[in-house]
């Protein structure tokens, strides 16, 4: 049976206020478009340099603090969306998922916000080029690609900032995955959530590199949403987090604009460790690291002592993402055999 059809009233009102501005729904539009046979969308994963951790409003998925990210071209999601008749069908990497699978249920609940008389159900076909739910932000690229596919299917022609608001409802970090390069997600202040969207920080940095150290790509035991709930509810240290995260965000934006890599790297690493400190200090403790994660962190610190300027960041999983400039690529790759290096701004 399909998932519940009735979305939360606040979520419904939020989405309707955005769609009211859509080209295809505007009464004044000279070319009122109809639904297409298929919509497509693709989006990259992104890695936060200054993290989102904690919600101030779980219904509208509003964050406690803003964040800054870098998108990783070549890693992400491609989605095709078609109208369906009897129920949603969800395909992930060529496999049809059972409607009761957590991935499919979450997707159908999100799609409840967008059903119409003409399109009561959806067929969703997604290819993810990153391991799903392994702390490599597949929900970010997934919901960004899905929102782009919805925009295409319904021919809304919404601006990116509006699509970012919609993507945020699927997964907070998805708000940032609509953009290549660096992106800033503004926490916003309004209760209606309309000022909490991401936009591009247009500052190409051709030497900037991200290296993926894969410790374990198995599905994480505690998802980000539950992890955030646990941390905000049961960690005294968390009180200090939102203000620090906003300060770090500002420093990182300045460092990107000034191409001050040392400042960026040090702030990003400190920010990630501070976020993990709040997780570890919650009860029951939340530790995403494995023994190999700590060994890799120590390797990074040793490299820095040896004069190789490399920093790490980590998300809700055991894997490390290394930050370095192209001049250090050889030295970093030698220290981490099998390192997958992405150069976000190189053609």
Binding site for ligand 2P0 (CB under 6 A): 48, 51-53, 61, 67, 139-140, 171-173, 224-225, 315-316
DSSP, residue by residue, 10-25: HHHHHHHHHHTT-GGG
Both tokens assigned to 310? 């490399």
Q: Least Å distance between CB 301 and ligand 2P0?
A: 21
Whichever of 134 and 150 has its CB closer to ligand 2P0, that residue is 134
**CA neighbor of 103 nearest in space, from 130, 135, 129, 142:** 142
Residue number closest to ligand 2P0, CB atom: 172
Whichever of 149 and 316 has its CB closer to ligand 2P0, that residue is 316
Question: Which burial class, exposed, middle or buried, applies to 157 when counting CB atoms under 10 A from its CB (0-12, 13-18, 19+)?
Answer: middle
Please give the Cα distance from 86 to 105 (Å, whole number).
16
Chain centroid to CA 139: how far?
6
Please give the Cα distance from 197 to 300 (Å, whole number).
33
145 sits in the region (left: phi over 0; alpha: psi -120 to 50; else beta) called alpha
301 sits in which H/E element: helix 291-305
Whichever of 25 and 200 has its CB closer to ligand 2P0, that residue is 200
Q: Least Å distance between CB 164 and ligand 2P0?
A: 13
Q: Least Å distance between CB 35 and ligand 2P0?
A: 27
Q: Least Å distance between CB 235 and ligand 2P0?
A: 15
Q: Least Å distance between CB 68 and ligand 2P0?
A: 9
Please give the Cα distance from 163 to 39 (Å, whole number).
14
Q: Least Å distance between CB 252 and ligand 2P0?
A: 12
Whichever of 164 and 171 has its CB closer to ligand 2P0, that residue is 171
Whichever of 171 and 328 has its CB closer to ligand 2P0, that residue is 171
Whichever of 83 and 227 has its CB closer to ligand 2P0, that residue is 227
Coil/strand/helix, residue 273: helix
């Amino acid at each position: 049976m399909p998932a519940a059809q009735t979305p939360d009233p606040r979520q419904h009102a939020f989405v309707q206020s955005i769609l009211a501005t859509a080209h295809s729904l505007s009464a004044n539009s000279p070319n009122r478009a109809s639904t297409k046979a298929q919509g497509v969308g693709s989006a990259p994963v992104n890695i936060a340099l200054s993290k989102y951790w904690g919600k101030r409003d779980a219904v509208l998925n509003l964050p406690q603090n803003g964040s800054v990210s870098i998108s990783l071209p070549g890693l992400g999601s491609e989605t095709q969306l078609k109208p369906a008749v009897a129920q949603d069908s969800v395909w992930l990497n060529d496999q049809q998922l059972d409607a009761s699978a957590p991935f499919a249920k979450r997707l159908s609940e999100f799609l409840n916000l967008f059903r119409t008389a003409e399109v009561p159900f959806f067929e969703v076909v997604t290819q993810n080029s990153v391991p799903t739910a392994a702390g490599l932000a597949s929900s970010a690229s997934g919901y960004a690609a899905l929102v782009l596919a919805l925009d295409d299917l319904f021919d809304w022609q919404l601006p990116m900032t509006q699509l970012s608001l919609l993507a945020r409802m699927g997964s907070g970090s998805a708000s940032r995955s609509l953009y290549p390069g660096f992106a800033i997600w503004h926490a916003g202040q309004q209760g209606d959530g309309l000022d909490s969207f991401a936009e591009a920080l247009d500052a190409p940095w051709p030497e900037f590199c991200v290296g993926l150290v894969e410790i374990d790509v198995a599905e994480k035991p505690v998802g980000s949403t539950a992890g955030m709930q646990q941390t905000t509810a049961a960690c005294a240290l968390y009180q200090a987090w939102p203000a620090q995260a906003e300060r770090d965000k500002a420093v990182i934006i300045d460092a990107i604009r000034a191409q001050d890599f040392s400042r960026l790297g040090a702030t990003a690493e400190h920010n990630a460790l501070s976020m993990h400190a709040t997780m570890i200090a919650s009860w029951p403790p939340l530790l995403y690291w494995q023994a190999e994660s700590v060994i890799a962190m120590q390797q990074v610190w040793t490299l820095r002592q040896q004069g190789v300027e490399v920093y790490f960041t980590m998300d809700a999983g055991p894997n490390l993402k290394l930050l370095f400039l192209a001049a250090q690529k050889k030295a970093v790759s030698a220290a981490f055999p099998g390192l997958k290096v992405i150069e976000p701004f190189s053609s």
